[in-house]
Structure 1
Amino acid sequence: MAGRGLPTGVGMTALYVVLERRVENARTDRLFHDPFAARFLTALRGAPSMAATAAFSNVSGFLRGYIPLRTWFYDTCALEAARTTCRQVVLLGGGLDTRAFRLQWPEGTRVFDVDSPAMLALQADVVASAHPTCYRSPVAVEDLSGLRTALHSAGFNPDEPTAWVLEGLLSRLSEAENDEVMAEITGLSASGSRLVADHFNHAIRRNPRFCVAEQLLTVLGPIWKSAKDDVIAWLATYGWNAQVMSPDRPAATAARRLPPVLDRHLVDPGRVWFVRAAITRP
């Protein structure tokens, strides 16, 4: 396995997510099985910078437990969509996740793994000896403007229902980019398509607890660029029927405790949104 340099900018947040998933995978009561998380850390040459290491440690103190819960929520929603209406799944900007390999997809599922060439190259190193549990198509894009063309070239069929998986993506994009990606997704979505995403409102970004975590992460580069106060209304403008929930609901289902920075009783009226949506066309 060839060694690679560490990701930079947003890629460093992907590394943080991998670290959290590795910790979760070592638990006896883990929410998911992810043998690839540790492999990513081995594949990366060297260790994070001292500043990044300190940021990871400090942020974990504020957010410990959130990433595993979010991962479990996305896994559950993506598999449910594939088992019902969607045999196409698009992982949009999934970073260092390996859902095409670690989840048990229904027979005939095709997963389009969309990310930057650098991220996909790192994934290729880690999964070189593994076999996907679906038909997997890596799709390299540098920015959102190339999404439609790249998907079509990879064999994507816009006439079939698609499950769109946007883990941690929307808040990393500007307001304009949020609209751009939803316009593209909607234009590629047949009736019966599903979407799973997460976002947060403006109030939580003003909460002192949340501001501390955000400031700790800025050493890794720009992290969050947008927020949505009414996700349901926003998605409705694109024809999506959405349901939103605070992380405390899946946390209760998973018998996990939320970190205080995300406990809605402590950060009210701040909200983190877990979003599920579907589109129905005439």
Structure 2
Amino acid sequence: MTVGSAFWIAAARARESEREDRLFHDPFAKELAGERGFTTMAASERATGGENAYLPVRVRWFDDVTLAAVADGTRQVVLLGAGLDTRPYRLDLPADVHWYEVDRAEVFTTKEPVLARATPRCHRRPVAADLGTDWTTPLLDAGFRPGERTLWIAEGLFFYLTEKQIRTLYETAAELSAPGSLFAADVTGTTGLDSPAMQPYRQWCAAHDVPPPFGCDDPPALAEAGGWTVEHLTAPGAADANHGRLRPQPGGLVPGRIHFVTAKS
């Protein structure tokens, strides 16, 4: 995730938190987003023609996966490309959960002052590292325990990586995890990646030496290539990822669309 998109997602969480029928409540999102986040969100929605109803559903889906995993006994969580996420503060997590957030140092420069006056509900450790380089050493130095059952979260991350980088993330997470660990991710399909609406972002990527947007129409194969076995596959709009916000969609694999995936080691 780019730093700019982190502010945008925080703005979306802030707006959702103000709804009477909100899918979650993030009391820190508005301050984290700041003017930059709301300006970016407004520009994005002008370009796409309206409010992005998908983002709150995605946040809630990962919330539900997280709560289910800790209810099942998982006590170690790694959030890859953490951005301005605040789950250790807003979710009802057991105090003995060890939560690691991996992202570039510049993200935490913005984030930590806002969260400094609050107390996380579990053991939270920021890990300043670039996922494109060595991030395992900083993670281990922060106290991560290899061989323990772990929940790995990649929310809104794969879109910004290359296929090689994604496979490396899967492989590394598998090597560090005990059997029964879980990897949760959203995977964008290939439909629309070359559309006119995507061209400004593609041009920005080219100008800043950033990978073009990633899409994959076979998320199970992507996970399996990295050493994981898909446990559940669904999509925004399916019965388990909708909450009355999106046009109903079938679950399962449908090439071209976004998928939500959980895979086990």
TM-score by length of 1: 0.82
CA 1:212–1:101 in structure 2 vs 1: closer, same or farther (change >3 Å)? farther
Which whole-Å CA distance do the structure 1 matches of 2:104 and 2:70 have between them? 24
1:12 maps to what in 2?
Answer: 4
Which whole-Å CA distance do the structure 2 matches of 1:201 and 1:66 have between them? 14
Per-residue CA shift, 1:31-60, capped at 9, x if unaligned?
Answer: 001011111134xxx64798x576333246
CA 1:102–1:223 in structure 2 vs 1: closer, same or farther (change >3 Å)? farther
Relative to structure 2, which stretch is displaced further, 164-173 or 223-232? 223-232
- Aligned to 1:276, the other structure's residue is in SS state strand
Cα deviation, residue 272, structure 1: 0.5
Alignment of 1:145 with 2:133, yes or no, is yes
CA 1:145–1:250 in structure 2 vs 1: closer, same or farther (change >3 Å)? farther
Identical amino acids, percent of aligned pairs: 33
Aligned ranges 1:199-210 → 2 under 5 Å: 199-205=187-193
2:20 maps to what in 1?
Answer: 28
Alignment of 1:214 with 2:202, yes or no, is no
Q: Which runs of 5+ in 2 are unaligned?
A: none
Relative to structure 2, which stretch is displaced further, 217-226 or 106-115? 217-226
Ranked by relative contact order (alpha carbons within 8 Å, sequence separation 6 or more), the top structure is 1
Which whole-Å CA distance do the structure 1 matches of 2:135 and 2:168 have between them? 11
Q: Which runs of 5+ in 1 are unaligned?
A: 1-8
Aligned ranges 1:161-176 → 2 under 5 Å: 161-176=149-164
Contact 2:11–2:37 (8 Å) recurs in 1: no
Greater helix content:
1
Kindly tell me the number of residue pairs found equivalent between the two proteins: 257
Contact 1:160–1:190 (8 Å) recurs in 2: yes
Q: Report the RMSD for the aligned CA atoms in angstroms.
A: 2.6
Cα deviation, residue 275, structure 1: 0.7
Per-residue CA shift, 1:152-173, capped at 9, x if unaligned?
Answer: 1011011210000100111210
2:235 maps to what in 1?
Answer: 246
Per-residue CA shift, 1:156-196, capped at 9, x if unaligned?
Answer: 01121000010011121011111221121111111110111
CA 1:163–1:251 in structure 2 vs 1: closer, same or farther (change >3 Å)? closer
CA 1:25–1:224 in structure 2 vs 1: closer, same or farther (change >3 Å)? farther
Per-residue CA shift, 1:88-146, capped at 9, x if unaligned?
Answer: 00011021111111111123101001111010121101101000010011100033332
1:3 maps to what in 2?
Answer: none
Relative to structure 2, which stretch is displaced further, 53-62 or 158-167? 53-62
Aligned ranges 1:1-282 → 2 under 5 Å: 10-42=2-34, 47=36, 52=40, 55-59=43-47, 61-62=49-50, 64-205=52-193, 211-215=195-199, 217=201, 221=205, 224-242=212-230, 243-250=232-239, 253-258=242-247, 270-279=256-265
